[in-house]
Structure 1
């Protein structure tokens, strides 16, 4: 893909130095590094939009199936475990290990079980 004409971008000296350090640590120049960050950010935003749609569709399917389950999580009834697991795995793929650890810590703090993917849920001990 051919690149368009260059654009100018003003950054504070502090931010510029941080990006230069990050680029150097990856063996890249500043411009290619920033281009890559922007493109990856766009891809992540698209993935998040798709996940939001999937989740909204999943809740719509639950409500239309008459389970009484709503976006608030209240209600009772049968929930398609395949759909729930698929949404969970998609979210985990997007979030990454660092943020997943934060979420697990928050679940434990609130005394909620942590799903471990087939093993017994870890209690909030």
Structure 2
């Protein structure tokens, strides 16, 4: 059963962003509101998934495993993190890696 949606929220978008979101909503046969609600909920789920992956890595659950066996979780964490981060966040992370003397990964 779907919960009652009773609290409207208003925010502003650029014309380009609104057109992009309206187009994406139309492609899926959704209203703009429903599409944006789904996007927000998916982002919440992604953030929770990232948190769980981080906890798994930090708790030592993979410390005794061979590097090849932890590669899937590391790749998943990387992809989820990159999806969740803005370009500015990525630049900040790369600058921090540079500061620590670790070369950041870049596509070749």
TM-score (norm 2): 0.60
Over 6 Å off, 4+ runs: none
SS of equivalent residue, structure 2 residue 11: coil
Q: Structure 2: where are the runs of 5+ without partners?
A: 84-105
Structure with the largest fraction of helix:
2
1:29 equivalent among 19, 31, 34:
31
Structure number with larger C-alpha Rg: 1
- Seen in structure 2, the aligned counterparts of structure 1 residues 40 and 21 have a Cα distance that, compared at 3 Å, is same
Q: Structure 1: where are the runs of 5+ without partners?
A: 63-78, 100-104, 110-125
Partner of 2:72: 89
1:16 equivalent among 3, 15, 18:
18
Distance 2:72 2:28 in 1: 29
Q: Which has the higher contact order (CA 8 A, sep 6+)?
A: 2
Offset of residue 53 of structure 1: 1.1
CA RMSD of aligned residues (A): 3.0
SS of equivalent residue, structure 1 residue 58: coil
Offset of residue 4 of structure 1: 3.0
